[in-house]
Amino acid sequence: MFCPKCKNLLIIKKDGNKKIFTCSCGYKSSKLEDRPVIKERITKDEIRLEVVDDKTELETLPKVETECPKCHHHTAYYWTMQTRASDEPETKFLKCEKCLHTWRENN
């Protein structure tokens, strides 16, 4: 709550057995209607989901010549990711260009 005179933050202090709001400018208030009322309004956030075609996303990845263990096609997309401790090498993931089978190579 803020002081109506100087707009500073009011401090709660005890005055005998009552609690009052005080300000450094000298303002004091113990009125019930001057106390802040907290009202909570929960609004439902909308979640937007973008649908991306797998093929479109894959086309941005680099390709490498390797054999797919499932269909034996000779081209695959690849990306690397750190899946273990930082002193270990990255893991290379591959996805077949033809059947979209995914596998990984640990170096």
Q: Which of 15, 88, 90, 105 is catalytic?
A: 88
Q: Which of 87, 90, 97, 105 is catalytic?
A: 87
The number of C-alpha atoms within 13 Å of 37 and in the hemisphere containing its C-beta is: 6
- Verify whether residue 46 is a known catalytic residue: no
Residue from 41, 47, 2 nearest 22 by CA: 2
- Verify whether residue 90 is a known catalytic residue: no
Q: Enumerate the active-site residues.
A: 87-88
